[in-house]
A and B are shown apart, each in its own frame.
Chain A
Amino acid sequence: MPRRALSHVLLVLLPVVAALAILPFVYSNHLLLFNFIVFLTLAQGVNVLYGFTGYLPFGYVGFFGAGAYGFSLAVMHLHLAPLPALATGALAALLLALLLTPLLRLSGAYFAIANLAASQAVYQVVSNPSLTPVTRGPYGISLSGVFNPVLSYSVALLVLAGTLALVISLRNSRFGLSLHAIREDAVSAALAGIDVVQSRIVAWLLSALVAGLVGGAFAWRISVFYPDTVFSLEFSIFAIVFTLFGGAATAVGPLLGVGILYGIYNAIGISTPQYFQLIYGALIVGLVLFLPNGLVSVLRLGGIDVP
């Protein structure tokens, strides 16, 4: 492994994963820690797509929900054990991504809105009462027999580790560089011999896979949920905002963004909730006006090479 990648792994991946593995022993609100893992993973998933290819997935939660429902359907109808069911969830997200590949022809805000419409469409289909025999429609999923907070936490942590490894490798590999090139100027990249369409599709599928895996883990952990819980716009928006706040296209940026913003979200939520939405909105506005390239841009100004 090239030296730079190794240093990134040591600086970023190991401390984060180790911290999240140890924290449950000292801090007892495990569900909060689990949610941190979920958002860290989702932010990195958005990072793979937005940071490297420039597509903003406003409907990212569609893959998350597909993973959650894939997991749940596998448990309910196929009676699979949790791990194969998780694989099924990931498969569901990948299939959805394949189905939506034509959206990659669009750009900018068009893609963002179409992606959002796609995730809403999936939600409408899943939560429709006509599909109750399959997806339990609007009455929600209630999985029995697979509830296992410890194992689902560990698996989620593994998914996060894998995602971080993916981002670090993108950061340090030729493929990641070619994605950057496509993002900056697709025509020149094509002239340089990069297969633009294929590269984009690979990034798209990887991003969907990440969301599908963590969606399945989420379903496993909470085991009782209504459709709008796993298709909530909140997941997409938070993941995007956290990534942008920290700084896209780096491995560290989304981690910073989640750590700071999601941390503030929970702290405020517990102490001064009534002005919560106001504070959060103001934070986002301030972010865009004063730190449009994210927190890591401050570090970069100081000449630091951010992982």
Chain B
Amino acid sequence: MHKRLLGIVLLILMTLGGSRVMLPPAGAAGAPGEITLGTLYASSGPFASISMPVYYGLRLWIDQKNAEGGVFVKPFHKKIPLKLIAYDDQSSTATAATLYNQLITQDKVDILIADSGSVLTSVAVPIARDHKMLLIDQTGTGAAFFTKDNPYIVLIADPVSSIWPRYAAEFLAKDGVALGIRRVAMVYATNDFTGTQASAFRKFIKESGAPLQFVYDEGVPTNTSSYTVIINNIRAANPDAVIELGYAGNDISFLRNLQDSGVKFKWLFAIYPGLETELLKKAVGTKALDYVYTYVPSSVISYRTNFGMSLAQFRAAWYEKYAHSNVEFGFNSVAGYTTGLVLERALAVTQSLDQLALRKAIFSLSGKLRTLDGLFQLDPTGAQIGEITPLGQIVPASAGGIRFVIVYPHSVATGKPVYPAP
């Protein structure tokens, strides 16, 4: 009888003791109900066309994750739903600054994500640093943001401006010289994004030692919309290759003016035929884009991925969700989605939600994460040195369409460049 009582008592004690061990660790009792992400977007003004696609791409990722119950957050061993708080800065830096502050001080977001483009990201850099919040920089590629003494910034989806032109410059120095290119003309809009790229072009070409000479090298104000005289001046310098660096509006104006002037360049490079192909197709027509060289963005190349949707899957999901909107699918939409993927991986491996722990988690992905945007790789200051876009040429395809031919680097090339342009 005593033995049975003892046995029952022991059983009860063991059950209680065992169940104590089986209980989840105390930390889970403090798990937040949701992870708040704070970001800004520009629905109007000069940066709306690069901001809205990024915002929509990020939202697509968030909605997908929430449909699955949330993102797995390692410190709490469970999936937690995401909440997005997003404000409209209307392309104004002053408004953006107060709104970033609002997100941090009033809404107390867990993760701070910048708006698209260097200008709207720039105001966030000191604010994030001051409040010791990690700034998730999506597409702000200004080289000055990344300094050794500021750990509170990481660039996710675009290569930093000072190295972005690398493949294009290398093409000119090697393959271009072999094709007979000697005289180079460059016109660039005077702002941080394109000005830095212009400097990078000059630097890479000079360091390569190739026999290339800049016969025209001029900056124009960013709001230039009449390039006819400039085109004539470039033509007068008789270049073999022309590099035109500007925002989408500059590219559109340049290509239109070029088409109307009847001038033909043997080799022409511009940024946005690649980055915002749909927009440029609508604005200048496919004929104006034929034989133009440009960055081949991740919205065109199907990179081998080890995480997240592939390009085809993402494009399908995008059109299913956003077919009725007037926000274009393009590189920037991929960028927003990529930001989501990086955050997802980081949350799955981070030690805590502390900002520097998040930074460490994101850095741990460097060199390993391959998304539809390419290889994710950071330098020690947080600048993105992976995801560099190859150089490609737009060629006519059937039925009046266009397609991309990657011409450099040779390891990913899909064809040979057509030079001079017919």
Interfacial residues, chain A to chain B (CB-CB below 8 A): 28-32, 35, 124, 127-129, 137-140, 142, 147, 149, 222-226, 228-229, 232, 234-235, 266, 269-270, 273-274, 276-277
| B-chain residues with CB within 8 Å of residue A140 when the two chains form the complex | 122, 142, 144, 192
* Structural contact, B88 and A139, CB atoms closer than 8 A: no
Q: Which range holds the interface residue count of chain B?
A: 20 to 34
Q: Is B238 an interface residue (CB 8 A)?
A: no
Q: 7 shortest A-B CB distances, which residue pairs?
A: A273-B88, A28-B105, A31-B101, A229-B93, A138-B190, A32-B98, A224-B126
B300 CB → nearest A CB, Å: 30
| A-chain residues with CB within 8 Å of residue B192 when the two chains form the complex | 138-140, 226
* Structural contact, B195 and A276, CB atoms closer than 8 A: no
Q: Kindly name the residue among B43, B93, B94, B130 whose own CB sees the greatest number of chain A CB atoms within 10 A.
A: B94
Q: List the A residue with the shortest CB-CB distance to B150.
A: A144
Q: How would you classify the secondary structure of chain A's contact residues: helix, strand, loop or mixed?
A: helix
Q: Is B406 an interface residue (CB 8 A)?
A: no
* Structural contact, B101 and A29, CB atoms closer than 8 A: yes
* Structural contact, A224 and B101, CB atoms closer than 8 A: no
Q: Which B86-106 residues have C-beta < 8 A from chain A?
A: 87-88, 90, 92-95, 97-99, 101-102, 105-106
Interfacial residues, chain B to chain A (CB-CB below 8 A): 43-44, 87-88, 90, 92-95, 97-99, 101-102, 105-106, 119, 122-123, 125-127, 130, 142, 144, 190-192, 195-196, 219, 221-222
| B-chain residues with CB within 8 Å of residue A266 when the two chains form the complex | 98
Q: List the A residue with the shortest CB-CB distance to B144.
A: A142
* Structural contact, B144 and A270, CB atoms closer than 8 A: no
B76 CB → nearest A CB, Å: 27
A164 CB → nearest B CB, Å: 22
User: Once bound together, how far apart are the Cα atoms of A269 and B97, in whole Å?
Assistant: 12
* Structural contact, A229 and B94, CB atoms closer than 8 A: yes
A52 CB → nearest B CB, Å: 27
If A223-B126, A225-B122, A226-B119 touch, whether A139 touches B196 (CB-CB below 8 Å) is yes
* Structural contact, B123 and A229, CB atoms closer than 8 A: yes
If A30-B105, A273-B90, A276-B90 touch, whether A127 touches B98 (CB-CB below 8 Å) is no
The contact sample of 16 A-B pairs, CB cut-off 8 A, is A28-B106, A29-B98, A31-B98, A32-B98, A137-B195, A138-B190, A139-B192, A140-B142, A142-B144, A225-B123, A226-B122, A232-B92, A234-B94, A269-B87, A270-B99, A274-B43
| A-chain residues with CB within 8 Å of residue B130 when the two chains form the complex | 147, 149
* Structural contact, B221 and A124, CB atoms closer than 8 A: yes
User: Once bound together, how far apart are the Cα atoms of A250 and B412, in whole Å?
Assistant: 69
User: Once bound together, how far apart are the Cα atoms of A244 and B99, in whole Å?
Assistant: 26
User: Once bound together, how far apart are the Cα atoms of A155 and B127, in whole Å?
Assistant: 19
Other than the known A31-B127, A149-B130, A269-B87, what 9 A-B pairs have Cβ atoms closer than 8 Å? A29-B98, A35-B97, A127-B190, A129-B195, A138-B190, A139-B195, A223-B126, A225-B122, A225-B123
Q: List the B residue with the shortest CB-CB distance to A147.
A: B126
If A270-B87, A273-B87 touch, whether A129 touches B190 (CB-CB below 8 Å) is yes
* Structural contact, B123 and A274, CB atoms closer than 8 A: no
Partner of B97, one of A137, A222, A276: A222
B326 CB → nearest A CB, Å: 13
| B-chain residues with CB within 8 Å of residue A142 when the two chains form the complex | 144
User: Once bound together, how far apart are the Cα atoms of A171 and B130, in whole Å?
Assistant: 41
| B-chain residues with CB within 8 Å of residue A28 when the two chains form the complex | 105-106
User: Once bound together, how far apart are the Cα atoms of A28 and B95, in whole Å?
Assistant: 17
Partner of B94, one of A29, A232, A274: A232
* Structural contact, A29 and B93, CB atoms closer than 8 A: no
User: Once bound together, how far apart are the Cα atoms of A29 and B99, in whole Å?
Assistant: 9
Q: List the B residue with the shortest CB-CB distance to A128.
A: B190
* Structural contact, B106 and A29, CB atoms closer than 8 A: yes
Partner of B101, one of A32, A274, A277: A32
User: Once bound together, how far apart are the Cα atoms of A276 and B219, in whole Å?
Assistant: 35
